[in-house]
Chain A
């Protein structure tokens, strides 16, 4: 069972060995509306925790997706270019954005677990 952690910017991270799979949460996709386009980073790019890693666009808005942890981009979800709607339909699964080779596992400790994130989201209303 892999661990999933969350950020206050509504990104999720699922750790699979030394790889982190990253996407946006169900709350984020509801707020955004229909996703029409996702701008993904090039393979090999090194992203820093808290810095922009991708951009997700709906018809009326464009939002930065920040890297929850630092690492090197080893894969991106090419399926999103033809079917950006996957982000809305399955944000935690098929709608994943990118995979990083984790640079510093300690960075995960600062992130929220599922319970804390749910509590955080409820507090937003």
Chain B
């Protein structure tokens, strides 16, 4: 078996060294009535050819978004990944290394994490960022928990256009921590007066920018209102390319930013693994969850990096930790760092401008189709439109004809019939004029 180096001669000699008669004897602490005498009922070992064939068959049953015009967004976006990114993250020293607990032989990981943390702080306009979380939804939930700890209050207000998966995750975390959330109704037409909901029990208000329907808003006034009420403002960003063009949460005076970084460096991958981003103000750093890489010096006075402020974490603080998180999204964070290093300031801003331009072209084209009502006057690369009938069957019909026409409201809000005729569409730098033409033709046909 290709992954097992021991030969039968090795096994015999090593067993002799242990003094045991058989390998089974080494398992003598296992009660006999739960000891399996034979392999379980699963297929036998397979060589590479067979495994490739079996999984290749499964892959072939899926429609890759890159093979057709595709307009899906809502927290996962199709961007071009420069070829160098995937090559670099597959270097064995990055791929097969562990959490950097022995810093002297982990400077590669630690320095790249320090660079990642800096990049995230810069683009979000915040002071400090951690070394990543599982994804945007769990980062959002952890941001809410952190706000609860800091304010010693237990009620979080969740904006109606927060991604429903993020809202649901935050609600689950809150429920089991004995805390509460106020879930505002999603409504693409109305701007909710969140400031009016603040009271002496509010720990934080959680908003998303751009919102789930695509709206781009200024939350500076809301930040001020939160602070007057002793609460914190959490801003969620789940299309991280938007920060190349849109005012950052830091500039709006946000307290915590929870984000999804998948758009930079990582494929959509059917939803995972993705990349949770987490950034905050300097004064809150000791309440921050997740790992942190910090700069220091070694015994020869050379600059180096270590994991630091570890007393916040589970392996030291156990039940009093800021979070139970251990493994995070290290390699996805590295991919992000490499991609953003390749883009640089000029590339990142230009990428955002192209995304916006493609989305404007898409919005203008869709606005000309009879029956379609655009709902998002101000957006980055994603818009919501209202169709004259439920959107899900329209999306299915277009999929059958080779166009992935976006996310129907019924998929994200199955419990809200009033959103079933909504369609949310995203455009990126991979969207061509032909793609938009195919989308428009398909929708016009479906709505005739």
Residue numbers of A with Cβ under 8 A of B are: 36-37, 57-62
Contact = CB atoms under 8 A, between A and B. Distances in A.
Interface of B: 286, 310-311, 316-317, 320
Contacts of B316: 60-62
15 contacts: A36-B311, A37-B286, A37-B311, A57-B311, A58-B311, A59-B310, A59-B311, A60-B310, A60-B316, A61-B311, A61-B316, A62-B311, A62-B316, A62-B317, A62-B320
Nearest to A60: B316
A91 to B, nearest CB: 19
Nearest to A64: B320
Contacts of A58: 311
Contacts of B286: 37
Contacts of B320: 62
A46 B193 CA distance: 39
A33 B178 CA distance: 36
Nearest to A61: B316
Nearest to A62: B311
A60 B312 CA distance: 10
A60 B310 CA distance: 7
Nearest to B317: A62
A62 B286 CA distance: 13
A46 to B, nearest CB: 16
Given A60-B310, A61-B311, 13 more contacts: A36-B311, A37-B286, A37-B311, A57-B311, A58-B311, A59-B310, A59-B311, A60-B316, A61-B316, A62-B311, A62-B316, A62-B317, A62-B320
Contacts of A61: 311, 316
Nearest to B321: A62
Pick the most buried of B286, B316, B320: most chain A CB atoms within 10 A of its CB. B316
Nearest to A57: B311
Contacts of A36: 311
A57 B308 CA distance: 12
A57 B317 CA distance: 10
A120 B136 CA distance: 52
Contacts of A59: 310-311
Contacts of A37: 286, 311
B319 to A, nearest CB: 12
Q: 7 closest pairs, A vs B, by CB?
A: A62-B311, A57-B311, A62-B317, A62-B316, A61-B316, A60-B316, A59-B310
A47 to B, nearest CB: 17
Nearest to B307: A59
A114 B192 CA distance: 65
A30 B300 CA distance: 25
Contacts of A60: 310, 316
A57 B321 CA distance: 13
B316 to A, nearest CB: 6
